[in-house]
Amino acid sequence: MKNIIIASTSTLHGGNYLEYLLPELQSFFSNVKQLLFIPYARPSGISHDDYTKKVSEAFNKINISVKGIHEFENPVEAIENAEGIFTGGGNTFLLVSQLYKNNVIDALEKVVKNGTPYLGTSAGSNICGLTMNTTNDMPIVYPPSFRTLGFVSFNINPHYLDPIEGSTHMGETRETRINEFHHFNPQPVVGLREGSWLAVKGDSVKLKGTLTARIFKRNEKPIEVIPETELNDLK
């Protein structure tokens, strides 16, 4: 049975890394002594070692040790033997490229669908959808495919931002980009605001946190859904 947290972000304004999620994660990873961390997305170009250290410092607060996938000689075996898995944020193009390059994307999909608890934040959440095409990131590298893990039956737009009333910014809004996506792709998109997450338990997909999420469907007006809404029929 799938057991997944798909979080829009790792850090809220004014807070520390993963601080707002730690109470939830303490329960979520209650049977995990060592967490496997996938640092491939490398936010701001941080090294795998430094990123893993940052994550380790956060999880030490709830008595969970962390080891980076890059520290293992065989990354596929590391995934297959993991008690729990966390994929952090950064650049989604780089993350997906590395998942394919290291031949771990299929193993990751298999173990999580079979019940290994998984946490994704930002880019690590983006890959939980059917494809990575609704990322906000620049294409700094080119992955062999945009297909991702398909833990949910829709795409995800993490860090979803609403247009700022009165703004003079002339670039595209998130909503504009998602509408462009729907000219070529049929699947719904969930705009997940910072501080929100999706809790996936088996076939249940439920919005968590205190904020609404924005749901986009092809050829339909977007709608807002409140926390605790079930999204398992969204497809």
Catalytic residues: 122, 137, 159
Q: What angle do CA 128, 199, 94 make, to 5 degrees?
A: 25
Tokens 């997909």 belong to which residue?
A: 205
| Lookup: tokens for 96 | 């997906």
